[in-house]
Amino acid sequence: MNDSPGWATPGSPSDGEGSDGSRPPAQPADTSKWSASQPPPGQWSSPAAGQTPPPQQQGPGWGPYAPRPGQQPGHQPGGPYGGPYGHPGGAGGWGGPPPAAKPGVIPLRPLGLGEILDGAVSSLRGHWKTVLSVSLVAAVLVQLGLLGVQRLMRDRLVVSPEPTTPGELADTMGDTLIAGYANYYLQLLGLLLVTGLLAGVVSSAVLGRSTTVAAHLRGVRPLVPRMLGLVGLLLLGSLAAGLVPVLPGLLTGNGVLAVLGAPVGIVLLAWFFVTFVLALPALMMERGKVADALKRSAKLVKGSWWRIFGISALTWAITWITSMIIAVPFAAVAVLVSPGGLSDILDGTSAQSWTFLLITAIGGLISLTITVPMQTGVTSLLYIDQRIRREALDLELARAAGVHDQGDHGAVTQRPGGAGPASGG
């Protein structure tokens, strides 16, 4: 049997057989000759920026610069962000995209929940004079309206100590529902007004620009008639969505029927509110027409209804808890100074006391002044976020803020598969 050259042990005799035709005994391998003939062991090191490996290291296989299956020869890794090392001008591994530019309160890219909430709070903190001035005026108007409703309903909401008939109980339920709806829609009116007036403040905060109360009011003055018209339409639509299901019970005096229709009204009201929640920011930032703002809101919300609903509901829950924290101490003080004390609270006669109403109104005024700007800030940032996701508004915002696509400010990148720069209107 003949030996093949490739099967000889390194360091074994090359002739293979002795003079008598027999094979000599196997000798231990001479490892010194084997190790001396090999190249020195390689060491991994990351190439310096802009340096390419020598040609002999670019052969086939799975080396750092070897082409993968389906790639063309000479392809260099780095993904859609360019550069051989993962990001423009960078070195050292498969890095992700560079951080987004952040000229103001938010980074110019699609936003997460925490960034939206933080941006709303930062807008309030950075422009507190303008924000609190506007929200205070709106809160005063809302509280005056609530005070009037409470005084009008003072006799109807008193709980009688004597047993009541089913009809009287139904009437009480209906009156309570009316008072609740009046309270909600008055606060909604204030929320809509503040949203329209403060949308420009949030826009300035996103661009990192400061503003004064006088300058802001001069900027929104030409849009006030259109804003009031849109607020009126949104309020009428909300009234129709929320009241139509309970209207049969209210007209017939059947409180039970009205209460049964309330859940249907809540569902319709939620659909209407979320669908057109971005209309006021669209009107004030794009400076278009009322009808165009309604269409823009419906278009931007389409496909993201549940996300916007969830963020809006969470914001409402946060502001409600904050309102309770502020209002409860004032209510406690009102009970202490009320002539009848806790007994008047239980039977409802405290609503007839101006002392009780005024003290609780002060607590409500403070809570509305603080919490309403939080809700309006979230709504305006949701509008900006939806345009970034749908229309690459971040590119236009970067240009408006004087931030370039590359450099020390970070980078503004186009969404994968997204459109080009969005138009301003």
Span 212-242, pLDDT tens digits:
888 988 989 999 999 999 999 999 999 999 8
Q: At what angle do helices 166-206 and 255-275 cross, to 10 degrees?
A: 10
CB 97 within 8 A of CB 402: no
Of 34 and 352, which is predicted with more confidence? 352
Mean local confidence (pLDDT), 320-341: 84
pLDDT number for residue 384 = 96
Of 423 and 122, which is predicted with more confidence? 122
pLDDT number for residue 403 = 77
For CA atoms 13, 14, 20, 25, the dihedral sign is positive
Cα 368 from chain centroid?
A: 22
pLDDT number for residue 49 = 45
Q: SS3 helix, strand, coil % of the chain, rounded to 5?
A: 65, 0, 35
CA atoms of 81 and 301, how far apart (whole Å): 30
CB 358 within 8 A of CB 314: no
Cα 129 from chain centroid?
A: 24
pLDDT-wise least confident of 62-71, 237-246, 279-288: 62-71
Residue appearing with tokens 């391998």: 29
Tokens of 342: 């806790």
Kindly report the average pLDDT of the chain as a whole number.
74
75 confidence band (pLDDT: 50, 70, 90): very low
Does pLDDT of 346 surpass 50? Answer: yes
Query: Which of the 8 DSSP states describes residue 62?
Result: S
The end-to-end CA distance of the chain, in Å, is: 88
Query: Could you tell me the residue ranges of all domains in the chain?
Result: 119-391
Dihedrals phi, psi of 398, to nearest 5 degrees: -65, -45
Give the residue among 196, 117, 134 at the shortest CA–CA distance from 385: 117
Decide: residue 381, CB within 10 A, 0-12 exposed, 13-18 middle, 19+ buried: buried
404 confidence band (pLDDT: 50, 70, 90): low
Does pLDDT of 311 surpass 90? Answer: yes
pLDDT-wise least confident of 7-16, 316-325, 327-336, 378-387: 7-16
Does pLDDT of 325 surpass 90? Answer: yes
Which residues, 6+ apart, have CB-to-CB distance to 315 below 8 Å? 117, 120, 374, 375, 378
Mean local confidence (pLDDT), 358-376: 91
Does pLDDT of 144 surpass 60? Answer: yes
Mean local confidence (pLDDT), 131-152: 88
372 confidence band (pLDDT: 50, 70, 90): very high
Percent of the chain with pLDDT over 90: 41
Q: At what angle do helices 166-206 and 213-220 cross, to 10 degrees?
A: 100
Cα 277 from chain centroid?
A: 14
pLDDT number for residue 33 = 46
Span 157-212, pLDDT tens digits:
555 545 456 666 666 666 777 778 888 899 999 999 999 999 999 999 999 988 88
Span 11-47, pLDDT tens digits:
333 344 444 444 455 455 454 444 454 445 544 444 4
**DSSP string for residues in 168-195:** HHHHHHHHHHHHHHHHHHHHHHHHHHHH
